[in-house]
Amino acid sequence: MSTEKPAESKLWGGRFTGATDPLMDLYNASLPYDKVMYDADLTGTKVYTQGLQKIGLLTESELESIHDGLERIRAEWESGQFVEKPGDEDIHTANERRLGELIGKHIAGKVHTGRSRNDQVATDMRIYVREALEKLSGFLKTFITTIIVRAETEIDVLMPGYTHLQRAQPIRWSHWLSSYATYFTEDYNRLQEILARINKSPLGAGALAGHPYGIDREFLAQGLGFSAPIGNSLTAVSDRDFVVETLFWSTLLMNHISRFSEDLIIYSTAEFGFVQCADAYLTGSSLMPQKKNPDSLELLRGKSGRVFGSLAGFIMSLKSIPSTYNKDMQEDKEPLFDALTTVEHSILIATGVISTLKINKERMEGALTMDMLATDLADYLVRKGVPFRETHHISGDCVKSAEDLKLSGIDQLTLQQFQQIDSRFGEDVKDVFDFEASVERRNATGGTARSAVLKQLNALKNSL
């Protein structure tokens, strides 16, 4: 005797007479990963049935029975007691099946009146993503605030600034921290813009053509906390731009976290010795007992590629889909959910790293060398009226002269030697060779002077 499930037992099975290939059932099912949206699905159904009652398609007693059943299902999911059964293709099917078991199929069968899984899943995903991004927004704000507080506390520490990974000019450690706080604040602001675009309701759009019973879509949107319904029913069921935007935002944030991590990995090497991660964020070697490896930072750097892969994979799935809903769109969930989880964990780890990081002020300031003040030497002559293009060459001649004389730095040239290169050098040239003075001269907006860095940090705090 055949044990295959007849197609008519499925939500969509009325048109079908043959059994489905068991592998197709497995291939088609999304419950293993979309059940994380159980709460969004139940909330959407609760508000939708209120909309049905409002237009007379449910009685008050039916609505009360449905809502009671939905809350019992919610409690089962929350307690881990919900029993999944064969035939539960997705979270919508599973919840509706269970509702029928609890309150009877006659009443439960009215829940889907005028609704399609097309607008249902689009609604569930927007609710789920909105809540996930609001949570990430809070975590990201804490991360940024942690960086800002650290920058304010360690404002007096100087270090080399780098271009091409070569020592360039002296900066404040806080200026480096402020740089990444600026990146992450831009990410935070970008997230608020994405949240506003996500917060539109597809519910009531039906399969694609709209609702046949005149349901109040504004009422549904308001009940679910959306700002408005999506204005076109075709777009409402098929739009996944919010998924792409979320994945793009996640990719860009992780790119910033990766660069932040790379800097700290370099600064933590014995060759630099500027920073040291707390043991909570380090691991050891299975062979070399002396090793402390910055695995937390390396994983942050590596997982940026994982998140980008989610974006690249989904956008390829989406690029050639014809209008309205197609099953390809089921490929939106796994990359999205994985990316959101990865980003959440990454922000929390990065916050832990930066809040417990130790810095070595002596090593940072000990890495400053006088050749890094070559531009300051050129600026010295600019202040005496010499064109910068000319002073650049003069300063270069001074650097070369110090090297030829095997001096430890350009500050070791005598006044006479400076004046042999250019007669406009005076006794005050020695004032150039002061790292703190060099940093403080760069006090324009965005610079590395103490006042400029504090201004940056205050602006970031106000932005948040």
Which listed residue (285, 323, 408, 451) is catalytic?
Answer: 285
pLDDT for residue 26 is more than 80: no
pLDDT above 90 for 16: no
Q: What is the band of 12 on the pLDDT scale with cuts at 50, 70, 90? A: very low
Considering only CA atoms, which of 34, 37, 46 is closest in space to residue 225?
46
The pair of three-digit structure tokens given for residue 287, joined into one six-digit string:
């062979």
- For residue 5, pLDDT over 70 is answered with no
Q: Where in the chain is the domain with CATH 1.10.275.10?
A: 7-108
Given this model, what pLDDT does residue 27 score? 74
Identify the band that residue 409 occupies on the pLDDT scale cut at 50, 70 and 90. very high
CB contact at 8 A, 365 and 435 = yes
Taking every pair of Cα atoms in the chain, the longest distance, rounded to a whole number of angstroms, is: 107
Residue with the bigger pLDDT between 350 and 16: it is 350
Q: Mean pLDDT, to the nearest integer, of 81-109?
A: 95
State the amino acid at position 380 in one-letter form.
Answer: Y
The model's confidence at residue 96, banded by pLDDT at 50, 70 and 90, is very high
pLDDT of 282: 85
First to last CA, the chain: 66
For the chain, the average pLDDT equals: 93
Structure confidence at residue 158 (pLDDT): 98
**pLDDT in the model for residue 22:** 75
DSSP string, 359-427: E-HHHHHHT--GGGGHHHHHHHHHTTT--HHHHHHHHHHHHHHHHHTT-SSGGGS-HHHHHHH-TT--G
Q: How confident is the model at residue 442 (pLDDT cuts 50, 70, 90)?
A: very high
Which pLDDT belongs to residue 15?
A: 61
Report the pLDDT value the prediction gives residue 134, as an integer from 0 to 100.
98
Lowest mean pLDDT among 258-267, 278-287, 414-423: 278-287
In this prediction, residue 3 carries a pLDDT of 44
The two three-digit tokens of residue 46, written as one number? 């609760």
Q: What is the rounded distance in angstroms from the CA atom of residue 286 to the CA atom of residue 452? A: 46
In the chain, list all ranges with CATH 1.20.200.10. Answer: 117-366
At residue 25, the pLDDT reads: 72
Could you give the residue range(s) of every CATH 1.10.40.30 domain in the chain?
Answer: 370-463
Burial of 383 (0-12, 13-18, 19+ CB in 10 A): exposed
Q: Which pair of structure tokens corresponds to residue 290?
A: 């002396």
Task: Check residue 338 and give its pLDDT.
Answer: 96
What is the model's pLDDT at position 10?
A: 57
Inform me whether the pLDDT recorded for 2 exceeds 50. Answer: no
Mean pLDDT of the 139-143 span: 98
Residue 232 tokens read as: 């076109």
pLDDT exceeds cutoff 70 at 101 = yes
Where are the strands (E) in 58-205, listed by range?
158-163, 166-172, 200-201
What number is the average pLDDT over the span 364-382?
A: 96
Q: Point out the least confidently predicted range of 77-81, 221-225, 287-291, 328-332.
A: 287-291
* Calpha distance 266→159 (Å, rounded): 14
Cβ–Cβ < 8 Å for 268, 275: yes
Looking at the domain that runs over 370-463, which CATH code has it been given? 1.10.40.30
Which residue, chain included where needed, has tokens 């509706």? 96
Structure tokens at 358: 């130790």
Per-residue pLDDT averaged across 169-175, rounded?
Answer: 98
Catalytic residue among 79, 164, 286, 320: 164
In 246-391, at which residue ranges do the beta strands (DSSP E only) sit? 275-276, 358-359
The topology under which CATH files domain 117-366 is Fumarase C; Chain A, domain 2 (1.20.200)
Look at residue 305 in the predicted model and tell me its pLDDT: 97
Q: Is 285 in the active site?
A: yes
Residue 345: active-site member: no
Q: Which of 1-10, 127-136, 276-285, 423-432 has the lowest mean pLDDT?
A: 1-10
- pLDDT-derived band at 87, boundaries 50, 70, 90: confident
Reply yes or no on whether the pLDDT at 167 is more than 60.
Answer: yes
Q: How far apart are alpha carbons 241 and 243 in whole angstroms?
A: 5
pLDDT bucket at 295, cuts 50 / 70 / 90: very high
Instruction: Determine the Cα angle at 369 with ends 363 and 374, to 5°.
Output: 150
Contacts with 160 (C-beta within 8 Å, 6 or more apart), sequence order: 167, 168, 169, 170, 171, 364, 367, 368, 369, 372
Beta carbons within 10 angstroms of residue 393's beta carbon: 12
CATH no. of 7-108 = 1.10.275.10
For residues 287 and 312, what is the distance between their CA atoms, to the nearest angstrom?
A: 37
**pLDDT of 20 higher than 70:** no
Spatial CA neighbour of 342 closest among 370, 300, 379, 313: 300
Cα dist from 54 to 48, 137, 214, 225, 412, whole Å: 10, 35, 11, 18, 87
What is the reported pTM? 0.91
User: How much is the pLDDT for 4?
Assistant: 45
Q: Residue 292: its pLDDT value, please?
A: 83
- Tally of CB atoms within 10 A around 57: 16
pLDDT at 51 over 80: yes
pLDDT, residue 177, reads: 98
Q: How far apart are CA 77 and CA 66, in angstroms?
A: 17
> Tokens 């070559």 belong to which residue?
374
pLDDT at residue 283, as a whole number = 81
Does residue 1 register a pLDDT over 60?
A: no
89 three-class SS: coil
**Is 189:137 a contact under the CB 8 Å cutoff?**
no
167 forms bridges with which residues in the sheet?
162
